[in-house]
Amino acid sequence: MNDPAYGARKEVARVHRAFYDAIEALDIDAMERVWLDDERVQCVHPGWELLIGRARVLEAWRAIFANTSEIHFELADLGIEIHGEIAWATCVERIRSSAGDETLEAAAVATNLFLLREGTWRLMLHHASPILRREAD
Considering the domain boundaries, does residue 13 fall inside one?
A: yes
CATH number at residue 87: 3.10.450.50
Cα(93)–Cα(106) distance, rounded to whole angstroms? Answer: 8
Q: What is the pLDDT of residue 100?
A: 81
Considering the domain boundaries, does residue 136 fall inside one?
A: no
Domain that holds residue 35: 4-130
Mean pLDDT across the stretch 11-38? 98
Considering the domain boundaries, does residue 62 fall inside one?
A: yes
The angle formed by the CA atoms of residues 82, 84 and 85, to the nearest 5 degrees, is 90
Considering the domain boundaries, does residue 57 fall inside one?
A: yes
Residue 137 has pLDDT above 60, yes or no: no
Domain count of the fold of the chain: 1
44-53: pLDDT as tens digits: 999 899 999 9
> What would you measure as the largest C-alpha separation in the chain, in angstroms?
54
